Structure 1
Amino acid sequence: MRISKEPEVRKREIADNAMRLFCEKGYEATSMKDIARAVNVVPGLCYNYFKSKYELYEYALTLYAEECISPINEILLGEEESPEVYYEKIVNVFIRNEGKEKYHDFFHKDGNQLFHKQLEIIMNDKLQPYLENFIARLNNKGQLMVEDPKSVSRFIVYGQSPIVNDDSLSPEEKADKVMKIIKLLLK
């Protein structure tokens, strides 16, 4: 029996199952037939939504990146009383979530460094405008005096990646190092 679903619901279902299979079997070993079977649809339906496995992967990757950064973005959009409150909330979210992300093991698996770099770029690209707006908003309130919010936000977002991705550091050490640098830049 065929089950009809809203296009966005079906698209998300396909993407979620694809990522699950990529985690289990690896990207290369997973076919569109495997993904269709996991969703309980014919392969042609998957191709109605995605021209290729890579296009499906890119869509799933973007969804996952948005999920990973949404808690930070929500904090940056908040109306807290001081920058210190924002910093504390960001550190708490980072420490609480570090390593517990839905597809963490896939992106941190040996051999998947390229996939991880793609995720990092998408996350940074999506996070940067939020941080830029945050800095500009706090500038307008007189809580920060950053001359060039766009450049500083880019420097922070793209510069923190090597620290955040350093598996030799604990989440607390990562957060401490990154926040010390951010506080220096946002004086």
Structure 2
Amino acid sequence: MRISKEPEVRKREIADTAMRLFAEKGYEATSIKDIAKAVNVVPGLCYNYFKSKYELFEYAITLYASECTAPLVAVLERDEESVEAYLEKIFDIFIKNDGKEKYHDFYHKDGNQLFHKQLEIVMNDKFHPYMKKFIIRLNERGLLHVEDPDTVSKFIVYGQAPIINDDSLMPEEKAEKVMSMIKLLLE
């Protein structure tokens, strides 16, 4: 029996299933036919939404990046009393989520370093505008005095990646190192 779903719901279902299979079998070993079978649809339906497996993967990365950055964006969009209050909330979110993300194992699996780099780029590109607006807003509120919000926000967002992705560090160590650098930049 065929089950009809809204296009965005179906598209998301296909992407979630693809990521699950990529994590289980690997990207190269997973075909559109495998994904369609797991979703219980014909491969042609997958191709209605995505021209290729790579396009499907790019869509999934974008969704995942949005999910991973959403809690941090929510903190940046709040009105807190001090810079320290923001940093504490970001610290707490990072500690709570680091290594527990939905597709963490796929992106951190040996052989998937290029996929992880792609995710890092997408996440940073998504997050940067929010960090820039945050710094500008805190400047306007008198909580910061950053002369070049664009450069500082880029340095914060793109510069923290090697520390965040260092699996030899515990989440608390990563967060402490990143937070100490952010504090230095924002002083």
**Same fold by TM-score greater than 0.5:** yes
| In 2: Cα distance, 1:163 partner to 1:4 partner | 45
Q: CA deviation at 1:134?
A: 0.4
Structure 1 gaps of 5+ residues are: none
Percent identical:
75
Shift of 1:4: 0.7
- CA distance in 2 between partners of 1:31 and 1:169 (Å): 35
Q: Name 2:119's counterpart in structure 1.
A: 119
1:54 equivalent in alignment to 2:64: no
How far the C-alpha of 1:62 sits from its partner, in A, is: 0.5
- Cα distance, 1:128 vs. partner? 0.5
Counterpart CA distance in 2 for 1:162 and 1:52 is: 31
1:54 shift after superposition? 0.2
Equivalent position of 1:30 in the other structure: 30
Q: Aligned Cα RMSD in Å? A: 0.4
Q: Where in structure 1 do 4 or more consecutive aligned residues deviate above 6 Å? A: none
TM-score, normalisation: structure 1: 0.99
**What is the rounded CA distance, in whole Å, between the counterparts of 2:42 and 2:168 in structure 1?**
44
Q: Distance in 1 between the 2:88 and 2:72 partners? A: 11
Distance 1:42 1:168 in 2: 43
Is 2:146 the partner of 1:146? yes
**Is residue 40 of structure 1 aligned with residue 40 of structure 2?**
yes
Paired position in structure 2 for 1:178? 178
Please give the alpha-carbon distance, in whole angstroms, between the structure 1 residues aligned to 2:141 and 2:68: 28
- CA-to-aligned-CA distance 1:138-160 (integer Å, 9 cap, x gap): 00001000001011000110000
1:132 matched to 2:98? The reply is no
Shift of 1:73: 0.5
Q: Distance in 1 between matches of 2:162 and 2:93?
A: 19
Gap runs ≥5 in structure 2: none
1:98 matched to 2:108: no
Normalised to the residue count of structure 2, the TM-score between the two structures is 0.99
Residue 77 of structure 1 and its aligned partner are, at CA, apart by: 0.5
Q: What's the secondary structure of 1:79's corresponding residue? A: coil
Q: How many angstroms does 1:109 deviate by?
A: 0.3
